[in-house]
Amino acid sequence: MEKSKKVLVTGAAGFIGFHLTQKLIGLGYNVVGLDNLNDYYDVNLKKSRLAILQKLSGFSFEAGDLSDESFINQLFKKNQFPYVVNLAAQAGVRYSLTNPHAYLHSNLHGFLNILEACRHNKVQHLVYASSSSVYGANKKMPFAVHQNVDHPLSLYAASKKSNELMAHTYSCLYQLPTTGLRFFTVYGPYGRPDMALFIFTKAILEGKPIDVYNHGKMKRDFTYVDDIVESISRLVPQAAAPNPSWDGMQPDPSTSFAPYRIYNIGNNSPVELSYFIEVIEKKLNKKAVKNLMPLQDGDVPETFADVDALMKAVDFKPSTSIEEGIGKFIDWYVSYYQIKV
């Protein structure tokens, strides 16, 4: 296959990376997947995803860490990737409250190594994961990419905002096209065990209580993983370009005079946590034992994505309903863990 169809996906054994890699290979890309298979959550789940990917022709795996500068440099030099999708990161808002150093190590140092490698190896387009958490204390709904995002509520959010700033610098100084993607609460099969859907499903099946924060009144713009990867796959070959009408007197945060773009990828329809739990209960045919709790430090009460910029760019809008998405996750869960429902 021609070199122009080669792409590096970091975090390939992670939840979104796993689904994206399958999607890109289906579209004819050769994917080099990078992952350090760390133990932030169940390594066996990461190995299961990786085992599926390793059966696909067009996939090759590299075990390594973003923060290993010489390894990253050698990987880029050897492969000369036209496209890079950086999904590897230390994830999770709550974990950042107790393990702050992990975020600087992976999300800042690691991302700097990616930027440097892209710069020195003439990468045509860097697409990277940001997060809806960057909206922080913003109250205006829906969250739009044109809003200022200077009030993060967690170190995780601050690290993702930092990635956007770092990317802009490289777009400006070195004309490196960069596109940042603010994901809104991604869920689906092979999802992360530290996320609400996984935690709730497991606990309800085991008859254990679940902690329901903000007394179930929290709202999230839950986004099904297939919608996320469809959006990313459309953006990969579409290198970010300068905005000719960008105005430094009224600076739009989501575009630039440099080849830089930011997009929300969300379902554009927030769901209250209490209803989310109802859908799980209905699918499992089992009631949850709820432990109602106040809002946690670092959490925002609501997320709601304005996806107009994404629709304009790639002619696609995430639209999988919560009922369909949760149904598919639970079907996967009971099959993977061999549970009778």
Residues labelled as active-site residues? 156
Dig out the tokens for 276 from the structure: 């989310």
CA torsion 125-126-130-135 (nearest 10°) is: -50
**Torsional class of 58: left (φ above 0), alpha (ψ -120 to 50), beta (otherwise):** left
Report DSSP letters for 152-219, one per residue: -SSHHHHHHHHHHHHHHHHHHHH---EEEEEE-SEE-TT--TTSHHHHHHHHHHTT-EEEEGGGGT-E
CA distance 111 to 86: 8
Amino acid at 227: D
- Of 17, 162, 179, 157, the C-alpha closest to 92 is 157
